[in-house]
Chains A and B, each alone.
Chain A
Amino acid sequence: AQKVTQAQTEISVVEKEDVTLDCVYETRDTTYYLFWYKQPPSGELVFLIRRNSFDEQNEISGRYSWNFQKSTSSFNFTITASQVVDSAVYFCALSEGGRGSTLGRLYFGRGTQLTVWP
């Protein structure tokens, strides 16, 4: 079973629209970490944010914001006033902090391709 589900395979928006990328995760650990990475067309992976399971505060960084809700096991990412440069594949990922065999591994979702049109 997928530990991280990104149900939206592709999203297209027009510049200046707001867009939310969904991420649902699954874990039995009480300690875990959630990440978002961006992969622009050039191919490299760029770290955007890390959240631990004990910190449910939402975070805002410029036009980016993240909504972490343990009750729904979701860690959604919103881009406000999108720009063409936001076009990329965005990955959500989970790392479990328990003592099991999955400790330390980073599990990625399949990614959401965001295209922002001018």
Chain B
Amino acid sequence: DTGVSQDPRHKITKRGQNVTFRCDPISEHNRLYWYRQTLGQGPEFLTYFQNEAQLEKSRLLSDRFSAERPKGSFSTLEIQRTEQGDSAMYLCASSLPLGADTQYFGPGTRLTVL
């Protein structure tokens, strides 16, 4: 399967702990996006990379959130000092910036903060 992969698929943590998620984009896709989706809502944009450069960040991305894409391939999203309000599905997508620049999504990481 050559789609976008995310790890882990599920994460349960206690409030105050740090968590890190990984996303592997489709090979040769140089754009990578992170979204967050809470229950009953559509996905909301968090941040975007072109190669290793983080080019845009949403105001939803508080100081406790950091994303990296060190070699322009996989990306990590870290949340420090998790809060119950961080409970959500974290989605990763990738695209190749040609034509319509269609984004393809991974299966997501479901985070539950107790």
Is B truly associated with A?
no
